[in-house]
Structure 1
């Protein structure tokens, strides 16, 4: 009796081990396992070897568990018949089912799920040994199941962009990464969705110099604007011919020929289509060693320029250097009004002012002034007051065809 019960206990413990192993290894995600391998955690390479062939691992665990449970059932039934007669099988079935359910399934799986890393480290070597011991049977069952179910062992399901964002969100909730890191990672993921035209400096806002400008006339303008790279044009800014690197002028300042035309010092410009994605432009900047690109529209004209700083700001946010003055694009005046720069991003404006508007994403504008122009279909006059669906605006400053400054008044 004691020997039989002892064997039953051992069988249930072994069943519990395999049940827990299944849960632990399935709960251990690819990212955690990769970190374990890279940091040389105990048995990490053995765990990876097991997870590299999940079909074989699962087959081994199921074979071992079924053999153990069937053996326990046969032994319990034999003992019950011996001590309880005809009602013995019913008694053994009830008791054994409860014991296996509680001690062989639920408890070990709960323990393993809560501590998948430690449990996997503990279970890895015994599981590899079991696979070797049961190898002939495992191969047979693998062959049968593979013929029943077609599968591609060479390709695991790829993680989608949304799933990756969810993983990052979970990391923030658990304290693994902070909010700023999460936002940066999200911004990196979204780089291939943003066209360079969305982050460009428009042509009418570019500082550029004519290729015929003499050095003596160019230097005061260069000092005034303090840019490190300046587009050079022929006729007008729709015909960019090169880029002037202001650092190149340092070498000639000791003995300058002030009557030289700046075209003498210009370097070739990088031209890219305005539809190019920011991720692709960043790759070109890195490979071709450029920091500025001139954007070309579908008609072959210049639409603007983008610098490497513009692209990086899409990842880390606004970057200010020693010469930059921080621009206040949106200035709250009171609870219902704000003074807004015409080039302020439309989404930022409605978010900052808490204006409830649904935008479908197909619009041809990015800025608040672009939205106003789309709504009224003309260039507004300075001082003009305009009623829009969700808010009213007063045009405070217009420069030529460009809306410079707006006062927005929310509707009650």
Structure 2
């Protein structure tokens, strides 16, 4: 390098260090960029995002390009620095110059550029891609040669496929992203997104209204009773049956029935003209599947059946929507606050019909999740008998004190958390 003057050598070293910082920051920024935001920007037609996506389609070529560029400029800088040091102070100058260059490269061409690129990947990646794409075309023969050699060596270690990994996220990973987005998302929106992701894991049986709570109209009742039920029904659709739920006629459209009878002097036969065919749903159907099924079949209400075909409950579109957005303020069903009464001694008074999963979710309890859906079912499953008032049943780390039993069901129970620290 004797043909270079000292000022020219210094200027060239500085330029090479800038190039080294460029390659280092480009590598970090492109690999650190958020792939999902990148896809969004690509769909929006962002030019920088389109260039980066083009580079990421062949990651092996991209890595080779960055490593080739970085090594060429670093080695060149080392050679020129060593020559400059030798001209100034001989062998001692070479050692001093090499040590100084190493420190400068680490600080100004590696640590600082990469730290900034990791913090602001888009600011570096998008402009850098403008130079990297033509540079890749220039170095393509060298890149291909190196990639052939590297693939051959990788195959020797049992690695055959080199490409962008699968970026698809599981629902649990999506939940983690939503949880970490608390600063950007309002708490209500965050809760709704998490609830939507839970629909895939919850079944119709988890949220249905149990059979004993189903309200319907017995067509064999006297006319005054039927008319009173129609007039005061809080629901737009209701079960119509003969004497028991074992003989269901169908789903009655309440408003339509009332209108038809009003136009025809309120006679029973006109009631049947407002009846839709019964819609049955397996209790193992996930809520996400059922929400789609309601839409496809243009239904708003369905009867839930078990594996033997027995009716176990009822579910409406509103029940699924409440899982996402919370309870409607106009809902006629008992709210969670009506089913739970916090006591001064720290215990909790629970309605036997309250859902175990919902109690756990709202009140941060850890009641065991079993086949039983309600508090009553959990107690019966544990005890394998009908409990009596005052009886204490231990379920997991909780004592259940039976407060009220009605029609062979636990109506109210006091729950006390056991001290398991000893």
- Alignment match, 1:12: 17
Q: Does 1:328 align with 2:328?
A: no
User: 1:388 aligns to what SS in structure 2?
Assistant: strand
Q: Distance in 1 between matches of 2:101 and 2:325?
A: 60
Q: Distance in 1 between matches of 2:140 and 2:116?
A: 28
Q: Deviations over 1:64-113 (max 9, x none)?
A: 11111111122222222333223343233212211211111111101111
- Alignment match, 1:53: 58
Q: 2:213 aligns with which of 205, 224, 227?
A: 205
Q: Does 1:404 align with 2:414?
A: no
Q: Distance in 2 between matches of 1:246 and 1:128?
A: 67
How far residue 8 of structure 1 moved from its aligned partner, in angstroms, is 0.6
Q: 2:255 aligns with which of 247, 252, 259?
A: 247
Q: Distance in 1 between matches of 2:74 and 2:136?
A: 18
- Alignment match, 1:286: 295
Q: Does 1:224 align with 2:232?
A: yes
Bigger shift: residues 69-78 or 288-297: 69-78
- Alignment match, 1:182: 190
Q: 1:306 aligns with which of 296, 311, 315?
A: 315
Q: Deviations over 1:182-218 (max 9, x none)?
A: 2222221121111101111111210122355676642
Q: Distance in 1 between matches of 2:92 and 2:195?
A: 69
Q: Does 1:70 align with 2:70?
A: no
Map 1:4-403 onto structure 2 (within 5 A): 4-41=9-46, 43-147=48-152, 148=154, 149-151=159-161, 153=163, 156-172=166-182, 175-212=183-220, 217-234=225-242, 236-261=244-269, 262-321=271-330, 326=335, 328-347=338-357, 349=359, 359=368, 361=369, 363-381=370-388, 384-389=389-394, 390-396=398-404, 398-403=405-410
Instruction: Using structure 1 for the length normalisation, give the TM-score.
Output: 0.89
Bigger shift: residues 184-193 or 50-59: 50-59
Q: Distance in 2 between matches of 1:313 and 1:111?
A: 45
Q: Number of aligned pairs?
A: 404
How far residue 349 of structure 1 moved from its aligned partner, in angstroms, is 4.8
Question: CA contact under 8 A between 2:60 and 2:162: conserved in structure 1?
Answer: no
Q: Distance in 2 between matches of 1:213 and 1:129?
A: 84
Question: CA contact under 8 A between 2:351 and 2:412: conserved in structure 1?
Answer: yes
Coordinate RMSD, CA, aligned? 2.6
Bigger shift: residues 118-127 or 138-147: 138-147
Bigger shift: residues 282-291 or 216-225: 216-225
How far residue 167 of structure 1 moved from its aligned partner, in angstroms, is 1.5
Question: CA contact under 8 A between 1:214 and 1:260: conserved in structure 2?
Answer: no
Distance change >3 Å, CA 207–CA 161, structure 1 → 2: same
- Alignment match, 2:3: none
